[in-house]
Copies of this chain bind each other. A is one copy, B any other.
């Protein structure tokens, strides 16, 4: 009896695992945990399935990646050199854009004027535009400081693109933090310096 029950559970597990696997595998974009949960209605089971899939695929040519709270299959970066698939050669980003992206990624959420302060130069038109168009940045919550400035943060698409699980996996972020370089509040020149009317 017990044995039978166990067997039924195994069959159910295997069936639901196939569903989850197929859902993630079929899509080219990451699928959110919530969408998967809606298919299964059993969070414990879903967590087990995701873990099981992650392990099963970890040594394959295709791996299951968890990006924030979304899931996607991506080819293993171990074999990247041997793939040579029709690559879309990305337009190289300007230096202003790459630095701005890094500042947003490492300091997020961050306002436009804080970005300008870090780079010590005003942000030229079109820099944020390019990053927005790539879908790598998105607006965060507004600051509750005067003027309620908009903040910017990176998106899941950004994490996916750079093969990161979450923001704290950004390369070198701990070094920056330990060196106290993630402090946004040290300002040399700001508007007030000049407008002391």
Query: How extensive is the interface on chain A, given as a class?
Result: 35 or more
Contact with B along A57-100 (1 / 0, CB 8 A): 00011100000000001011011101101100000000000000
Interface segment, one of A1-9, A22-30, A189-197: A22-30
Q: Does A45 contact B (CB under 8 A)?
A: no
Q: Does A50 contact B (CB under 8 A)?
A: no
Q: Which of A22, A86, A123, A163 has the most CB of B within 10 A?
A: A22
CB distance from A72 to the nearest CB of B (A): 12
Q: Does A146 contact B (CB under 8 A)?
A: no
Partner of A142, one of B20, B75, B142, B169: B169
Using A142-B168, A178-B128 as known contacts, say yes or no to A85 and B150 having CB atoms under 8 A apart. Answer: no
Contact between A22 and B83 (Cβ–Cβ < 8 Å)? Answer: yes
Q: Which of A95-119 contact B (CB under 8 A)?
A: 112
* Chain B residues, CB < 8 A from A163: 138, 155
Q: Which of A20, A28, A39, A142 has the most CB of B within 10 A?
A: A142
A148 to B172, CA, bound (A): 11
* Chain B residues, CB < 8 A from A181: 129, 132
A61 to B22, CA, bound (A): 5
CB distance from A13 to the nearest CB of B (A): 12
